[in-house]
Amino acid sequence: MWEVMEQQAECPFCTLYHRVEQTEAENCLGGSLMEPAVRMRVNALGFCEKHHQLLSAQKDRLGHALLTDSHCKEILQKLPNRAYGASGKFRRPFLFWKPLSNSRAEPFIGQLEALSGSCIVCDNVNQHLQRYYHTFLHLWKCDPAFAALWDASRGPCIPHGAELLRHGQKHLSSPELEALADSVLSLLKAALALEEAELAYFTQQFDYRNQGRPWGKSKTALERTVRRLRGGFQDVEEKQTS
């Protein structure tokens, strides 16, 4: 936590998320690939679309294929023989036909959602992020030097600001939570106002009357503004190259 704050990351939690995410993806295709406990969790949880893409980027198609194949085998075992259960019927004799209640599909829909809604990388990353939030709150509350470093930072993106305050609800007193909320708001407004100004400058660069005007930091304003709004700052290098 200290390291990321000292490096003046655009959003410290985005940076930590990205680093942990990369490590977890590498571990899935590394030595842990053959560990039974890891394979059992992969078989049960699989990967979301985003992290399948991240695994593909690791350039280990065989490892990725082995994990996906074993997960598919488990999914096939979990899928029921009939969508509406053993006693359900999709069709009835025409003379006695009446519409089946749509609610009868709910268990099967829920099962499909459960089978496609889990991801071992997401689970592992989120567990790490919970500890980082807890560490941040402890340092912010107990270490004046850390609190000063936070006050001088660019603050969080909007999603991580909200998540930080949700954790603060559980671990801070009411006055402490109010102080943290004020600091999150102040830092967020300052960073977003600066990025919006640079983004507006970027749009003005396409006016023929501004030909020859230097671009400055506006070339990366769109990406930085989107990430401030929705998250996704990847590392401190983004700030240094912006």
Classified as helix, coil or strand, 110 is helix
Residue 237 has pLDDT above 70, yes or no: no
165 neighbors 185 (Cβ within 8 angstroms): no
Classified as helix, coil or strand, 134 is helix
From residue 43, how far is each of 60, 127, 175 by CA, in Å? 18, 19, 46
Sketch the domain layout of the chain as residue ranges.
143-241
pLDDT tens-digit map of 65-87: 989 999 999 999 988 887 776 44
Q: Tell me which residue has tokens 């100004």.
A: 197
Q: Which of 40-54, 96-110, 190-204 has the lowest mean pLDDT?
A: 96-110
DSSP codes, 67-79 = HHHHHHHHHHHHS
First to last CA, the chain: 22
47 neighbors 8 (Cβ within 8 angstroms): no
pTM assigned to the model: 0.81
Q: Which of 41-45, 89-93, 203-207 has the lowest mean pLDDT?
A: 89-93
**Cα dihedral: 15, 176, 152, 190 (round 10):** 80
Position 36 scores a pLDDT of: 83
Residue 92 has pLDDT above 90, yes or no: no
pLDDT tens-digit map of 160-185: 999 999 999 999 999 999 999 999 99
